[in-house]
């Protein structure tokens, strides 16, 4: 029992840490603006069925005569469109709200799957060492030697060639999520392995070993909670890459099918009419994608700086 007493109670320490992060966020205009933009985008995506003027993928709610209506104008049918319509007459505001749901769903699921694979492998490599560490790290090196989009394209192409119906419905979502996760697991495994090597040298790990804790218990109950903050930062930054990868795959026509809402598909639909001056069909979904990626990226950068004592310099513009 005396050994357990060496471990600090995380409860009281967690509340001041959250309060400190909240104060830092309020003192950082870029991070606060990114948080507000992200909150608005999340709210719009979650409430898309209620906020969207129409279901953009319901043929009964689309008027082909309103196709290519510019933003802030009414179409021939008399209906007003805040962000205009695309070349099929779909309301772009509605399509973007539904597309945000897809981007966040696919990106979040892909990052979660990559974490579920990469974090345990990183813990195992950092604690075990030897051949286990060498095998895991060499596999990570091989994966990291290829660009993320190339790995995703390869996996997506193989899945669509081998699996019946891989490009339709829920199967298409699973293929895209699996492709992005396969390209991202090493982004978690390598940093986690380095963090474990550092934490394994600390006194609380020695205390747990003296207390007779097993390897799995030490990794799960002692080391993992102490490296959770860096993992959260990596996940936040990886979410940006996952969102952009999904949009790229859909833009290239190898991601989600064209009848599924996706910001990449919306941009791809509008690229053919840019030369005709109808910039909003590709430009407005592209701007929504940029705002989503930029807000998550800025918030992830701030979270990294705020959670790392080496960046805690008073008076900086970021804080």
Each of the 319 residues of the chain gets a pLDDT tens digit; together they read 344 444 444 444 455 656 666 777 778 888 889 999 999 999 999 999 899 988 887 888 888 888 889 999 998 888 899 999 988 888 999 999 999 999 999 999 999 999 999 999 999 999 998 899 999 999 999 988 888 888 888 887 787 777 766 556 667 788 889 889 988 999 999 999 999 999 998 898 888 888 888 888 989 888 999 898 899 989 998 999 999 999 988 888 887 877 777 898 889 888 888 878 889 999 999 999 999 999 999 988 888 777 765 555 544 444 4
Whole-Å CA distances, 296 to 3, 15, 86, 146, 188: 41, 24, 27, 24, 18
Backbone angles phi, psi at 265, to 5 degrees: -65, -40
Q: What is the DSSP string of 43-104?
A: HHHHTHHHHSSS-TT-GGG--GGGTTPPTTEE-TTS-EESS-B-TT--BHHHHHHHHHHHHH
CB atoms within 10 A of CB 247: 29
Annotated domain spans of the chain: 28-49+83-311
User: Taking a C-beta distance cutoff of 8 angstroms, is the pair 288, 265 a contact?
Assistant: no
The CA distance from 204 to 6, in Å, is: 7
Backbone angles phi, psi at 147, to 5 degrees: -60, 150
Q: Which CATH number fits domain 28-49+83-311: 1.10.3720.10, 3.40.630.30, 3.30.460.10, 1.20.120.420?
A: 1.10.3720.10
Residue 81 φ/ψ region, left for φ over 0, alpha for ψ in the -120 to 50 degree band, beta for the rest: beta
């Amino acid at each position: 029992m005396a050994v357990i007493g060496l471990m600090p109670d995380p409860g009281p320490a967690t509340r001041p840490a959250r309060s400190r992060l909240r104060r830092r966020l309020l003192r950082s205009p870029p991070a606060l603006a990114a948080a507000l933009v992200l909150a608005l985008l999340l709210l719009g995506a979650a409430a898309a069925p209620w906020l969207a003027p129409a279901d953009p993928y319901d043929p009964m709610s689309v008027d082909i005569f309103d196709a290519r209506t510019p933003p802030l104008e009414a179409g021939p049918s008399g209906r007003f469109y805040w962000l205009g319509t695309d070349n099929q007459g779909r309301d772009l505001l509605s399509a973007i709200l539904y597309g945000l749901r897809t981007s966040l769903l696919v990106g979040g699921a892909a990052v979660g799957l990559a974490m579920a694979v990469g974090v345990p492998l990183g813990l195992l490599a950092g604690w075990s060492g030897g051949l286990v560490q060498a095998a895991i790290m060499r596999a990570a090196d091989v994966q990291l030697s290829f660009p993320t989009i190339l790995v995703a394209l390869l996996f997506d192409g193989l899945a669509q060639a081998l699996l019946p119906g891989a490009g339709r419905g829920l199967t298409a979502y699973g293929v895209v999520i699996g492709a992005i996760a396969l390209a991202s697991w090493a982004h978690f495994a390598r940093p986690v392995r380095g963090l474990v090597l550092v934490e394994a040298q600390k006194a609380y790990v020695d205390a747990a070993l003296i207390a007779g804790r097993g390897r799995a218990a030490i990794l799960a109950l002692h080391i993992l909670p102490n490296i959770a903050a860096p993992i959260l930062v990596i996940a936040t930054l990886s979410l940006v890459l996952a969102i952009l990868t999904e949009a790229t795959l859909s833009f290239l026509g190898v991601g989600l099918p064209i009848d599924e809402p996706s910001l990449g598909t919306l941009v791809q639909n509008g690229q053919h009419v840019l030369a005709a001056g109808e910039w909003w069909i590709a430009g407005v979904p592209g701007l929504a994608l940029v705002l989503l990626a930029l807000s998550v990226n800025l918030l992830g950068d701030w979270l990294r700086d705020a959670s790392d004592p080496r960046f805690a310099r008073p008076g900086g513009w970021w804080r």
